[in-house]
Amino acid sequence: MEIVSLNQISPDQVIIWSWNFIVLNATILYTWLVMAILVVGSWFITRNLSSATNVSRWQHFLEVIISIIRGEISEMTKKGADKYIPLVGTLFLFICVSNVLVVVPGFVAPTSSMTTTAALATCVFIAVPFYGISRNGLFHYVREYFQPNFIFFPFHVMGELSRTLALTVRLFGNIMSHEKVVGILLAVTPFLFPVVMQILGLLIGVIQAYIFAILSMVYIASALSAEDEVHHTETKKEGVSA
Amino acid sequence: MHIDWFVFLAQIFNFLLLMYLLKRFLYGRILKAMDDREAKIVARFAEAEELKVKANEAAELYEKRNQMLNDKKEVMLNEATMAADAKRKELMDKVREEVDAVKARWQDMLVREHDAFFYDLRQRAAKQLYATARKALADLADVELEERIVDEFIRRVKALDEEKSIQIRKAISGGGNKIVIQSAFGISEPRQAQIEEALKKQITNGFTIRYMQQPDIVSGIELRVNGHKVAWSLNEYLETLVESLTETLQKEAHAA
């Protein structure tokens, strides 16, 4: 079943229903599907959780994933990892499930739409100052943009924007191009080659999910650690002058 | 590249909604379960550690008590050994005393048996000698032994010296003028008259004689009057014979 034809670059172009500016396209539909899988699966597995040592396999599976995410975050933030798990974990799980489900015939990854990746990157773009301000206060966060002096303010803003753009384009480019490459190869090469490419696509999909989540955390952590460094330096100066 | 702003905002909303739902149904629950488990494990480890400490304390206490019991056992064993030794010594002494007593009784009995044996031997030897001598006298001299004994008795009465005669006379008068003549055999009346005559001639007149037959006087005759006596019997010879015989037997026993 060909949902997104080769000449269509994004599932956004597959309009299912629209009214005025309200549009229901393939991107939103498949996003809902992925959300439903994640939410229903989570609810199903976690409805009978056990804190004893004897737990179900699915609970083990989820605990392993959450533990890995928690461990990765802890390596960067050192403390308070649980605060960032909802954002980083949801980014990873959503992107990963979207990318992996590509092997299901008829499924189009929402992450192959730049609208989706831009939305996710925007969330990260908002989350970085949100966590920075909530932890160290608005003044310290804004002052960071003027370090080492005010001339660097535009560069800081450009850096924020460019890395958000990089996040958007990296994920979109990888997933979209992979789908297109597999589609073209199906038309011109024997059957076995696209299968290998699909397997490679699974690997790329998981790696991209990991990269997106880790980079998001790096951005958040850099904002936190920068604030920490400033705070630490000031404390030190006060100590010396006293 | 076209971006539909409605879809863009919808995707942001979708993502935030997913974040909320996963936080509610996944992260919160899973993290709580993991933290609870970790707390339980920590608590269990702490409990185990506490139990270990208690167990160690109990083991030390037990060890100490064991040591005390061992020491006590040692002391009690020593006391029991000493008591047993004392008791054994006491019992050994008692047994030794009993053995000594039995030995003494046995030796006493042996002495008595020895005496009885020689007494019996003497009796038998005397009787045998008496019988042999009587038969020999009868065969050789054709004289009754009793006659010879009476003759010897009369000779002895006649042979009494003056001092002895006076003593006997005083004894007769002090004893109510009664004389008892004991013999192992019966004395015929003529012989009694001879004896009476000899006594009257040698000692005194005015007495009565009572004759008694006494088998214990071995082949002899004796006059008894108030602590004095004139006698002849085979006992004198026999006692010499028995002494000689005893000496010989003892020498034989020592040699064995």
| Residue B254 touches chain A, beta carbons under 8 Å | no
Residue A90 has pLDDT above 90, yes or no: yes
Contacts of A118 in chain B (CB under 8 A): 3, 8
* Model pTM above 0.80: no
Give the tens place of pLDDT for each residue, B230-246: 777 766 666 676 677 66
Q: Which of A51-55, A145-149, B33-37 has the highest mean pLDDT?
A: B33-37
Instruction: Give the pLDDT band of residue A184 (cuts 50, 70, 90).
Output: confident
The pLDDT assigned to A40 comes to: 94
- Mean pLDDT of the residues in chain A: 84
ipTM: 0.88
Name the residue of chain B whose CA is nearest to A118's CA: B8
The pLDDT assigned to A241 comes to: 43
Out of B9, B14, B23, the one facing A86 most closely (by C-beta) is B23
Instruction: Give the pLDDT band of residue A7 (cuts 50, 70, 90).
Output: low
| Residue B21 touches chain A, beta carbons under 8 Å | yes
Out of A22, A52, A90, the one facing B22 most closely (by C-beta) is A90
Out of B11, B27, B33, the one facing A89 most closely (by C-beta) is B27
| Residue B19 touches chain A, beta carbons under 8 Å | yes
Domain residue extents for chain B: 144-251
- Nearest-CA distance B51 → chain A (Å): 21
The pLDDT assigned to A242 comes to: 40
Out of A22, A50, A94, the one facing B18 most closely (by C-beta) is A94
| Phi-psi sector, A41: left (phi>0), alpha (psi -120 to 50), beta | alpha
DSSP letters along B185-212, please? S---HHHHHHHHHHHHHHT-SS-EEEEE
Are the beta carbons of B29 and A27 separated by less than 8 Å? no
Contacts of B10 in chain A (CB under 8 A): 28
Give the tens place of pLDDT for each residue, B105-130: 999 998 888 888 877 777 777 677 66
Contacts of B6 in chain A (CB under 8 A): 21-23
Give the tens place of pLDDT for each residue, B157-177: 888 888 888 888 888 888 778
Give yes or no for a contact between A6 and A15, defined as CB atoms under 8 angstroms apart. no
Strands B208-213 and B221-225: unpaired
**pLDDT-above-70 percentage for chain A:** 89
Q: Which of A56-65, B77-86, B200-209 has the highest mean pLDDT?
A: B77-86
Give the tens place of pLDDT for each residue, B140-162: 555 567 788 888 888 888 888 88
Domain residue extents for chain A: 11-241
